[in-house]
């Protein structure tokens, strides 16, 4: 049987792969693994609590109800926070003294999909072992509580949202002694593309409270339009709007707002690597970049690493996936890390990638530096990159095939310090991703094409 939990929880087509019954069973299993739902004399000593939030997909309604039902039937009191970004659930899980949090979202995926992922006490994503334990007890019978032992479900979206917004704004604008709110972004005209997703209320409000003049697009979720030609996966509308309104920059979120990409005043994209570079340099300047190190994945552009090296900032590489970035950050005590896709983990303020937090801190650095986003991003030039997916191959043999390894070594010798190559097997399909970076686009194309041809010849199924 394939594993139910993937790299980011349980995902699938809502009401086909991810059903109400499965959500109920996941809630039931999670309370057994992540907390003690037992009772004494029908009256628990200190109720166990869980927090549930979701993005704007229409299927989130029935999945949230089913998940909360499974948890409350297992003896947990459930706080339903309604529509709230994934990092909002992580934050609230860390401060509300709940045993666990759960998010119903498929992030940047199309609307028909959905997913469920859990956060342990403290707001951290579950390690693989805990997900395996939940899967192992899924659907099993056990002695469920009765009477006063069963849990309640309460709904309080307003309080949850306001607590989270307060936290976000405080990261760049801590309250003054007289409890007034500073406005560090005053006069900054920006466009925010909320992808008709979970941050449609949170991001505009947080940016405005910090003083920004915000033009908001794609913040009218109807249950069906999440990520549809909007947000970080479709930034064209944002690019056009920044130029049309003479804004100084734009920010784009995905459906659950755990990632953020940006656009400069000319409508050019500023990707996650460049954002991480800007924020890493700012943290180093302020003495807050632990060990003067940024944690990145193998997909981060060599241009970022070379630029950071010149600034005295080291990089540590992990496998692709923000969970692996966080694991490395916790292991090494690092304070900043992320992915080219715009997942940025700022451990000073968050336990997971937070798109709205990234937008606030990026805007704050534009103001503090006195430079435009275009000027800041120019300090982190991206080497031309080519990526070719080679399908229908024995993906696991890429790392052991002698001809392929010899070809990789040859190309690396030719590139020297001016580029690199990477062969990465897909996690879900029988294909190998071949990537090359070089000083020119033409050379990157040549290298990538040569390697892809050899991979196809040697590993064809």
Among 72, 94, 107, 300, which one carries the catalytic annotation?
107
What's the distance, CA 361 to chain centroid?
16
Q: For residue 456, which of 384, 401, 385, 386 has the smallest C-alpha distance?
A: 401
Q: Count helices and strands (H / E) in the chain.
A: 14, 19
> Can you tell me the distance from the alpha carbon of 415 to that of 91, in angstroms, rounded to the nearest whole number?
44
DSSP letters of 134-155?
HHHHTT-------GGGSPPEEE
- Give the pair of three-digit tokens for residue 432: 């190998």
- Give the pair of three-digit tokens for residue 273: 């690597």
The per-residue pLDDT for 37 is 41
- Please return the burial class of 263, using the count of CB atoms within 10 Å of its CB with bins 0-12, 13-18 and 19+: buried
Please check whether residue 197 is in contact with residue 227, taking contact to mean a CB–CB distance below 8 angstroms: yes
Q: For residue 116, which of 48, 36, 59, 176 has the smallest C-alpha distance?
A: 59
- Give the pair of three-digit tokens for residue 359: 């937008």
Q: What share of the chain is helix, strand, coil (3-state, %, to 5)?
A: 40, 20, 35
**From the annotation, which residues make up the binding site for Mg(2+)?**
107, 254, 256, 258
> Can you tell me the distance from the alpha carbon of 459 to that of 457, in angstroms, rounded to the nearest whole number?
6
Please check whether residue 272 is in contact with residue 233, taking contact to mean a CB–CB distance below 8 angstroms: no
| Whole-structure pTM value | 0.92
How many other CB atoms sit within 10 Å of the CB of residue 138? 16
Partners of 190 in the beta sheet? 214, 249
Active site annotation includes 107: yes
The per-residue pLDDT for 49 is 93
Q: For residue 290, which of 270, 313, 269 has the smallest C-alpha distance?
A: 313
φ/ψ (deg, to 5) at 324: -75, -35
First to last CA, the chain: 22
Place of tokens 């040697």: 458
Cite the beta strand spans of 298-418 per DSSP E.
314-318, 336-338, 344-346, 385-391
The per-residue pLDDT for 44 is 45
Identify the structural domains of the chain with CATH numbers, from first to last. 10-155 (3.40.120.10), 166-379 (3.40.120.10), 385-459 (3.30.310.50)
**From the annotation, which residues make up the binding site?**
107, 254, 256, 258
The per-residue pLDDT for 2 is 59
Sign of CA dihedral 331, 332, 338, 343: positive
pLDDT in tens, the chain (461 residues): 557 888 788 999 999 999 999 999 999 999 999 885 443 344 345 678 999 999 999 999 999 999 999 999 999 999 999 999 999 999 999 999 899 999 999 999 999 999 999 999 999 999 889 999 999 999 899 999 999 999 999 999 999 999 999 999 999 999 888 888 899 999 999 999 999 999 999 999 999 999 999 999 999 999 999 999 999 999 999 999 999 999 999 999 999 999 999 999 999 999 999 999 999 999 999 999 999 999 999 999 999 999 999 999 999 999 988 889 999 999 999 999 999 999 999 999 999 999 999 999 999 999 999 999 999 999 999 999 999 999 999 999 999 999 999 999 999 999 998 899 999 888 767 899 999 999 999 999 999 999 999 999 999 98
């Amino acid at each position: 049987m394939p594993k139910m939990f993937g790299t980011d929880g349980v995902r699938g087509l809502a009401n086909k792969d991810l059903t109400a019954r499965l959500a109920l069973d996941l809630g039931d299993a999670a309370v057994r693994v992540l907390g003690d739902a037992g009772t004494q004399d029908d009256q628990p000593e200190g109720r166990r609590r869980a927090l549930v939030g979701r993005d704007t997909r229409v299927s989130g309604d029935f999945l949230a109800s089913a998940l909360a039902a499974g948890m409350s039937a297992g003896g947990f009191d459930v706080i339903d926070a309604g529509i709230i970004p994934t990092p909002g659930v992580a934050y609230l899980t860390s401060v509300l003294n709940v045993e666990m949090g759960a998010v119903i979202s498929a992030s940047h995926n199309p609307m028909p999909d959905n997913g469920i992922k859990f956060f342990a006490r403290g707001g951290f994503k579950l390690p693989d072992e805990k997900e395996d334990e939940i899967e192992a007890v899924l659907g099993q019978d056990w002695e469920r509580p009765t009477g006063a032992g069963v849990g309640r479900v309460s709904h309080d979206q307003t309080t949850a949202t306001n607590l989270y917004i307060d936290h976000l704004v405080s990261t760049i604008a801590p309250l003054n002694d007289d409890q007034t709110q500073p406005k560090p972004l005053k006069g900054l005209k920006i466009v925010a593309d909320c992808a008709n997703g979970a941050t449609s209320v949170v991001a505009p409000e947080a940016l405005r409270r910090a003083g920004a003049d915000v033009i908001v697009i794609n913040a009218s979720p109807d249950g069906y339009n999440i990520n549809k030609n909007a947000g970080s996966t479709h930034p064209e509308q944002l690019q056009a709007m920044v130029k049309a309104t003479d804004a100084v920059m734009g920010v784009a979120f995905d459906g659950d707002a755990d990632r953020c990409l940006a656009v400069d005043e000319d409508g050019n994209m500023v990707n996650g690597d460049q954002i991480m570079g800007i924020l890493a340099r700012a943290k180093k300047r302020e003495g807050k970049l632990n060990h003067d190190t940024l944690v990145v994945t193998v997909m981060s552009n060599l241009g970022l690493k070379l630029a950071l090296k010149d600034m005295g900032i080291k990089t540590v590489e992990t496998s692709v996936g923000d969970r692996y970035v966080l694991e490395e950050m916790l292991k090494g005590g690092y304070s900043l890390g992320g992915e080219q896709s715009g997942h940025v983990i700022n451990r000073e303020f968050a336990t997971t990638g937070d798109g709205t937090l990234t937008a606030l801190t990026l805007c704050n650095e534009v103001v503090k530096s006195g430079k435009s986003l275009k000027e800041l991003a120019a300090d982190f030039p991206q080497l031309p990159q080519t990526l070719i997916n080679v399908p229908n191959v024995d993906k696991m043999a890429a790392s052991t095939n002698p001809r392929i390894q010899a070809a990789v070594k040859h190309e690396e010798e030719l590139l020297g310090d001016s580029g690199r190559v990477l062969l990465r097997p897909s996690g879900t399909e029988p294909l190998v991703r071949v990537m090359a970076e070089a000083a020119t686009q033409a050379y990157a194309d040549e290298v990538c094409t040569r390697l892809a041809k050899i991979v196809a010849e040697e590993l064809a199924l």
